[in-house]
Amino acid sequence: MTARFGMRVSALLVTTAITVGAGAATAFAEPTAPDISQATEQRTLLKGSTTASYYWDDASGRAGDTGLPASGISMRKGLAASPSWPLMTEGYVVYKGKKAPFFVGDRGPGAPSNNGIMLDLDAKTFADLTGGTFNSSTLGVDGNGGQGHIKVQYVITKWGNGVGKKNHPVAFSTGAWGRKDTNPAKPPVDVLAVAAKKKAAEEKKAEAAKVAALKEKAEQVEEPKEAGKAAAIAPASLNTDATAATTAAETTSDTSRTGTALALVGGLAVVGGVGYLGRGRIRRAVRR
């Protein structure tokens, strides 16, 4: 919280009112807060760890708050302060397995950032992470054992478009919060995503091998079937040839028998003819 952890940088000139002419004030419309409900499911642009504190600036002047946050967006759950990240940067923190989304809507902490406290969470989010409750009267957190600092893992899922360092946070005193960064940190390799992609490729390869094995097995089953069909056709063909050969043999035999019979008949006819022609001679011989 601001009262405990040092001065907070005020940027009210761009978020409250500007005095024009003879003291007339013109108020700016409050910017729209980003929707961070899906922050934990978006692509990781940066991840790291830091010590986080908490605060709640509701412009009431209580508990040392410095007024409206630098972004011009009124204090709310999920609004965090960073000493160097661009305003409207989005991400989430992880503490003891609990995840909490945030967006950078303010600058700070100031002096504590020199000691490694690089993130100021809103008091309600801090209470949720530490098991405490937000006290609307004191703007503090009760029931969490007096914790004011916690070690958190942070993940950035979207960079803000304005000035500020798009990399691991640095102390406010460096002035990085006021410079445009055109060379953001290279997104880290998502180990889980790479592992998931590798697993999917392996599963696809295994499935292809399984399909190929099944196909080969099916082909091996088909080969005996085809061989059986050929074997079944071959005997039938042989039987047909044998039948044809038998028929041919029988036909030849019949022809032979017919020829023999005809030859015999012919022989008998010749003998008979000779006998007939020689009857006279025989008779004459007998008479002599």
Alpha carbon distance 66, 7 (integer Å): 9
Mean per-residue pLDDT over the chain, rounded: 79
Position 163 pLDDT exceeds 90:
yes
Alpha carbon distance 280, 282 (integer Å): 5
Structural contact between residues 102 and 123, judged by C-beta atoms closer than 8 angstroms? no
Least confident of 47-61, 152-166, 245-259: 245-259
Closest CA to 67 of 7, 4, 11, 135: 11
Taking residues 211-231, report their average pLDDT.
Answer: 80
pLDDT at 65: 65
Structural contact between residues 67 and 113, judged by C-beta atoms closer than 8 angstroms? no
pLDDT at 55: 94
What pLDDT digit, counting tens, does each position of 104-150 carry? 999 999 999 999 999 999 999 999 999 999 999 999 999 999 999 99
Q: What is the dihedral of CA 225, 228, 229, 235, to 10 degrees?
A: 180
Provide CB contacts within 8 A for 146, sequence distance 6+. Answer: none
Closest CA to 109 of 11, 8, 3, 177: 8
Structural contact between residues 119 and 82, judged by C-beta atoms closer than 8 angstroms? yes
What pLDDT digit, counting tens, does each position of 64-105 carry? 666 789 999 999 999 999 999 999 999 999 999 999 999 999
pLDDT interval class at 246 (50, 70, 90): low
